[in-house]
Structure 1
Amino acid sequence: MPVPTTPPGTASSAPARRRRDLVNRLLSEVSAAGFLLFCTLLVWDLFLPVRLPGGWTTVVVPGFVSVGLVAYRGHRAAVEYRTTEPPEPVEVGVPVTGRWVAHNSPVDKTPSHGTHEYAQTYAIDIVAEPVAGRNPGFSWLWPLVRRSSAYPAYGVPLLATADATVVRARDGQRDHLSRSSPLMVIYLLVVEGLARSLISPWLVIGNHVVLDLGDGNYALYAHVMRGSLTVKEGDKVTAGQTIGRCGNSGNSTEPHVHFQLMDRPDPILARGVPFRWRGMELPANGRAFTAPEPEPGAAPDADGDIAPAPASDTL
């Protein structure tokens, strides 16, 4: 029997939406508390002379509960996706210029990143490749890691995709070494990434900026370079304006741009929103594309970045 779906914009009443938000928030906070309790008990059992009652069972139960809550949170997001019709795609500008290659594209599948959590249903990853085949690839044996500066995407300007208001901006997390070998990918998935997802989605996302595009749509840029944001909360930005630089923070194997639209500014509570890029087709996985220069209204500054054009004189 087909699952009944709800038209876009009427997924639930206001009280039902508040209950959903409350449950999602509680699941996130309790899973974080469970993971921190697991870490505390593990350190206690390994290094303190006083043994815990119940031994290892006492240690591992909070960890299993935490992982289970994260899995349940993902299940809830998947059920909601199946029972709600998606909204119409929103047209926005491309967040970069130059030649790039798409990965984890919603053109090929949804959810594009294998999960509906954190409003990633229609998210896309893009990797800079100014010259075909010149981007450092995956290393099966050596080197295990590379510096972020070895990748052409690192430090590339990120552009506002529309006239918008900045509602969240954080760039204090470090840009780590790449996770571009089998051993380091396992480390990312099993240790580093799991710990981040259990503690806070913002650690998964890394440095980021969220733009309010209006009409209930929000753009999220993830894995931004540490200290690179040129905007702060409350700032008004124009389409094509530089808002930061591509980095390698959070759950990232190499410097790249993670871009998504969502219907709320908080990815814990939001649902993904489909989008299309103005002036070009949204690329499929593995497809190279060249993003056009920003539309008139934004121009390079003295350092070669893209800056808003100066306002004209007025009476």
Structure 2
Amino acid sequence: MLWLIQLLFPLALLLWLAFLPARHMPTRIFQSFGIAAILLGLHLAGLWITPPWWTPWIYWGLFAIAVSRVWRMQTRPDFAAVDYALILFWAGLSGFGGWVSMQALDARTPPPGEIVDLAAPLVAGRYYVTNGGSREIVSSHLRTLPRATIGQRNYWGQSYGVDITAMNRWGLMASEPTMVLAPCAGRVVRAHSGEADGGPVDLTSPTARAGNYALIRCGHFDILLAHFRKGSLPVAPGDLVRQGQPIGALGNSGASDMPHLHIHAQRPGTAAAPFSGKPVPMRIDGRYLVRGDML
């Protein structure tokens, strides 16, 4: 469904503009602005894995070609009832695209309060942020923030989490193993490494969604790194780790639909629900990461 929205919908709008432009100039202006607003909203808030992150730039190129073509075409002076309907339609698309864009831009501002600074949790490479930011439109993790259900309370700590996917030189998901590094110096308070990639997940468990994971206490905060590949975790509870130390390989265990690293900061949770602590926003290498960012 996602690739339909991000691939077919923009292409349909661009083909409409290029080959069936509005016949009246005011309507054509609204058409151009409506399509531009939708492209901007998708560019800023879309999850660009399939198709890859560079796809929106192709859309902008096609949009520029279409606009330069249709604005040289003749228009009709008469104004029919269909033009009023089309203006309302394109104005609605402009408003929706503008709202999505503003939400995505506003998500780049961290929530107020304390913030944790961490080092890069992955070896040097190409990475794409699939979840992150202070608005739900770019981060599904914020769904646990209300604490209205048991599941939300058990995983409250992950509300400001970030998901990072490794990419190859073509902008597609990398297939080679990627090493995860400790983003801070601390002590491992919990660890689990027995889950297979893509295995079943007990959704009622307070930890199973993380799959294979390491929970590191760095000062007053707990840092969770999750979804490791089975058998790749060399640390155990009680181990001391240094910043930059390899602690596992990026995987797809737990509640995960693609190989990626989940990382979040929180105040310590309870023994029964270790990810239930108060969520804390993070900066990684000085950056507050939002969906669409590249590392």
TM-score tier, shorter chain, comes to 0.5 to 0.7
Distance 1:111 1:285 in 2: 7
1:212 paired residue among 217, 238, 250:
217
**Partners of 1:112 and 1:124 within 8 A in 2:** no
- Quote the residue 2:122 is aligned against: 96
Number of residue pairs the alignment of both structures matches? 170
Q: 1:222 is matched by which residue type in structure 2?
A: A
SS in 1 for 2:160: coil
Distance 1:96 1:160 in 2: 8
Shift of 1:111: 6.4
Q: 1:202 is matched by which residue type in structure 2?
A: T
Alignment of 1:1-315 (within 5 A): 87-97=113-123, 98-109=125-136, 112-113=140-141, 114-116=143-145, 117=152, 118=155, 119-135=157-173, 151-152=174-175, 155-176=177-198, 196-198=202-204, 200-214=205-219, 216-265=220-269, 266-278=273-285, 280-289=286-295
Percentage of matched positions with identical amino acids? 34
SS in 2 for 1:259: strand
TM-score of the aligned structures, taking structure 2 as reference length: 0.53
Q: 2:118 is matched by which residue type in structure 1?
A: V
Shift of 1:271: 1.7
Q: Deviations over 1:212-240 (max 9, x none)?
A: 001x2010011111111111111111100
Q: Deviations over 1:172-230 (max 9, x none)?
A: 011127xxxxxxxxxxxxxx66xx222x022111110000001x201001111111111
SS in 2 for 1:288: coil
**Partners of 2:162 and 2:289 within 8 A in 1:** no
**Partners of 1:169 and 1:209 within 8 A in 2:** yes
Larger Rg: 2
Q: What is the Cα-based RMSD across aligned positions, in Å?
A: 2.2
Gapped runs of 5+ residues in structure 1? 1-84, 136-150, 178-191, 290-315
Shift of 1:130: 2.9
**Partners of 2:139 and 2:291 within 8 A in 1:** no
**Partners of 1:223 and 1:250 within 8 A in 2:** yes
Q: 2:216 is matched by which residue type in structure 1?
A: L
Change (3 A) 1:276 1:268: closer
Distance 2:275 2:244 in 1: 28
Shift of 1:282: 2.8
Q: 2:131 is matched by which residue type in structure 1?
A: N
Q: 1:277 is matched by which residue type in structure 2?
A: I
Q: Deviations over 1:255-313 (max 9, x none)?
A: 100000010154453121111112x4233212222xxxxxxxxxxxxxxxxxxxxxxxx
Gapped runs of 5+ residues in structure 2? 1-110, 146-151
**Partners of 2:158 and 2:275 within 8 A in 1:** no
SS in 1 for 2:128: strand
